[in-house]
Chain A
Amino acid sequence: MIETIGLGRNFDGLVAVDDLNLTVKNGEVFGFLGPNGAGKTTTVRMLCALIAPSRGRAFMNGIDVADRSQQIKIRQMVGLLPESPGHYETLSAYQNLDFYAHMHGVPEPQRKQRIDRLLERLDLKDRKDDRIATYSKGMKQKVAIARALVHDPEYVFLDEPTSGLDPVAALTVREFISELKKDGRTIFLNTHHLEDAEKLCDRIGVMSTRMLALGHPQELADSFFGRGTVVELDMPRPDLLAEVQAMRGVVAVRMEDAKFIITVDDPVLRNPAIVADLVRLGAKIRYIEPQKRSLEDVYLKVVGR
């Protein structure tokens, strides 16, 4: 489990992270969203015991990240994909991974097996002995992901894993992250790709120096926009707007073309009555569906646009 209590970090008097309270359960995929300079990378570095918190505490699997005597233990259980892949470009992918496996103390028989498996899974096996300098950006990113996993860590921190990848490579990476989740690893995903976060994450946190919103994407949408129902009629009926507004459980209603977008306090309980009332008022209903709010809507609302 990852846990932070009032975590904060200053740089030369500037607050980068403030009062961060967060719990990420084992096996969870947690999406960490926020604008540039929001403190996401600083938070990850603190959790990986690379830099010390200015205040508050953070625990990785119960180990205090500020405890210098335990920091090597933390780095053993953590795999990090940094924002830039940062490879030894004159060496091959295999040599790069072999070096990191060595550094993490992966024993010889497992080392080769694990590297081969990762390279195969990420479609890099055919080029494994080529110098990384000759790789495309997407391939370098895949090698960086393999590097983060070469020591089989429990916790994986991925900073923009699909950044700069073509759609096929991005899909490979997304599928790979899903596989990691199935393995039961805890994944901390720093991303600006809201689609990735929506598809992959169990919960997301939106941060801008401090945590602004935290929860499941749908829960956040509900909490910020309410639980809406879209009722599409055969023709626009603005005359019914006031009557719908007066129906029980309706928090807000607006009309877009021939659609009523109705925010209800409890859609499961209220929707049957609302539909019955609309029919009674002469509305011809084409279909009814829950209103979908994208993570982008939530994000933009949370970060203040």
Chain B
Amino acid sequence: MIQWEKVWTIATKEFKEFRRNKYILYSIILMPLLLATVLPAIYVIPVSMFAADESKTPMDLHLNINLNNSYIEVREVYAANIEFTSCNLTNTVATGCIFYNCTLTNCVVEGSQLNDSIVLGSTITKCNLNNVTRINSTVLGSVLVGEMTTAETTLLLLINTMLLFFLIMPTIVPAVVASYTIVGEKLNRSLEPLLMTPTTDLELMLGKSTSIFVPTVLMTYLAFVPFVLIVDFFTYPVLGYAPLPSDVFVIAVYLISPLTCALSILANIIISSRVNDVRSAQQLGSLVVLPMVILFIAALAGVASLNAWLMLGFGGLILAADVVMLLISLRLFKREEILVNWK
């Protein structure tokens, strides 16, 4: 039976120590808040400002259609002011035309309106494109109606990239703090008196872990608020909607970040049993971020798209890793083990 009062007594003692350690305070409070505000400011604001020049509103092409063609093959001609419906055009130069459901191959199109069509190996200049599939084609000075602009795509990519921060932060902070609370205590020789108290090994481990887990997760949650506000404030004018909190972010911040935090704490308990200085503990503990980085590299490289299901699956993997690490930690965090075998 776990005596939670003792667990909390250990945790509150640690909190008192944190309050007097500027380095830990900086790691727990200042670093997340700074990153949550500075990161979006650095990445989002410039792109948003640049995006103001881009428009999704169709251009007024002043079209003057004087001929309609349907279901015909057009090859090597110059077409002007013609409406094509379900036509195949090859090696054709077109200007001031309208295309519905056409296929254009190796064409040059200027000042036209393209709807629900496919363009292959063509050059499209100063056109309005609405649901146009482009294959090996160049589009210049045109408006992609209903599609995301480059700025929008960039913004969403940047926002997704910053999700990594909310997964990495709860793993880095415990690496810093645990190195002080466990390795530091070992170096300071204050573990033995603590081990002499009438507590179970599990209560001691939970007390230490709680002292790291609670502030880290709280600060992650707290840092998410200014992050969302800043991102939404600067991206709303460009996107026309507030992108955060999205389901991916909510799962990452509120579900996965506590799991990654726990993983980091447990990893640090294991590391603490094998190293004898704070720096080594921090460096080795920081390696826990690797799975998160790999996920992101994969997502950004297009191997997997960041969606709620992927995040839930990732959360499940971290949870499984937590269970494995917990079992190892419980085996290592025993009085006898600490006194006899910990380096």
**Interface residue B191 (Cβ < 8 Å from any Cβ of A):** yes
Q: Is the CB of A103 within 8 A of B199?
A: yes
Q: How far is the CA of A76 from the CA of B198 in the complex (A)?
A: 6
Q: Mark B1-40, 1 if CB is under 8 A from A, else 0.
A: 0000010011001001100110000000000000000000
Let me know if B340 is at the binding interface, CB within 8 A: yes
Q: A99-B9, A100-B193 are in contact. Are A72 and B198 (CB under 8 A)?
A: yes
The interface-forming segment of A86-94, A113-121, A221-229, A277-285 is A86-94
- The segment out of A43-51, A212-220, A237-245 that lies at the interface is A43-51
* A50–B197 CB distance below 8 A: no
Chain A residues lying within 8 Å of B188, measured Cβ to Cβ, are: 86-89
Size class of the A contact interface (CB-based, 8 Å): 20 to 34
Instruction: Give the nearest-CB partner of A90 in chain B.
Output: B20
In the complex, what distance in Å separates the CA atom of A48 from the CA atom of B20?
Answer: 32
A50-B336, A75-B197, A75-B198 as given contacts; A86 in contact with B13, CB under 8 Å: no
- Checking B9, B190, B192 against A103 with a beta-carbon cut-off of 8 angstroms, the contacting residue is B9
Q: Which of B20, B200, B339 contacts A91 (CB 8 A)?
A: B20
Q: How far is the CB of B196 from the nearest CB of chain A, in Å?
A: 5
Contact B20 A11 (CB under 8 A): no
The answer to whether B198 and A104 touch across the interface, beta carbons within 8 angstroms, is yes
User: Is B17 in contact with A90, judged by CB distance below 8 angstroms?
Assistant: yes
A203 to B335, CA, bound (A): 30
Q: Contact partner of A86 among B17, B193, B200, CB < 8 A?
A: B193
B189 at the interface (CB under 8 A from A): yes
Q: How far is the CB of A137 from chain B (nearest CB, A)?
A: 13
Nearest-CB residue, chain A, relative to B195: A50
Please encode chain A, from 78 to 90, with 1 for each CB lying within 8 Å of some chain B CB and 0 for all others.
1110101111111
Q: How large is the interface on B (under 10, 10 to 19, 20 to 34, 35 or more residues)?
A: 20 to 34
A147 on the interface (CB 8 Å rule)? yes
Contact indicator A11/B340 (Cβ below 8 Å): yes
Contact at A51–B340, with CB atoms within 8 Å? Answer: yes
Answer yes or no: A193 CB below 8 A from chain B CBs.
Answer: no
Q: Which of A137-171 contact B (CB under 8 A)?
A: 144, 147
**Within 8 Å of chain B (Cβ to Cβ): is A52?**
yes
Q: Which residues of B contact A45 (CB under 8 A)?
A: 339
Chain B residues contacting A79 (CB-CB under 8 Å) are 196
A293 within 8 A of B: no
CB distance from B195 to the nearest CB of A (A): 6
Proximity string of chain A (88-111) to chain B, C-beta cutoff 8 Å, 1 when within and 0 when not? 111100010001101111000000
The answer to whether B17 touches A88 (Cβ under 8 A) is yes
B196 touches A51 (CB 8 A): no
Docked-complex contact B336 and A99, CB < 8 angstroms: no
Interchain CB contact under 8 A, A82 and B340: no
Docked-complex contact B193 and A82, CB < 8 angstroms: yes
Q: Is the CB of A50 within 8 A of B335?
A: yes
Determine the chain B residues whose CB is within 8 A of the CB of A52 once the complex forms. Answer: 336
Cβ of A254 under 8 Å from chain B = no
Interface pair A72/B199, CB less than 8 Å apart: yes
User: Are B20 and A82 neighbours in the complex by a CB distance under 8 Å?
Assistant: no
- Chain A residues lying within 8 Å of B197, measured Cβ to Cβ, are 75, 100, 103-104
| Residue-wise interface mask of B (317-343) relative to A, using a CB-CB cutoff of 8 A (1 in contact, 0 not) | 000000000000000000110011000
Q: List 13 A-B contacts (CB under 8 A).
A: A72-B198, A75-B197, A75-B198, A78-B196, A79-B196, A84-B189, A84-B192, A86-B188, A86-B192, A88-B190, A91-B13, A99-B9, A144-B193
Which of B's residues lie within 8 Å of A, judged by CB?
A: 6, 9-10, 13, 16-17, 20-21, 188-200, 335-336, 339-340
Given contacts A50-B196, A51-B335, 12 further A-B contacts (CB under 8 A): A50-B192, A50-B195, A52-B336, A75-B198, A82-B196, A87-B190, A90-B20, A91-B17, A102-B6, A103-B6, A103-B9, A105-B198
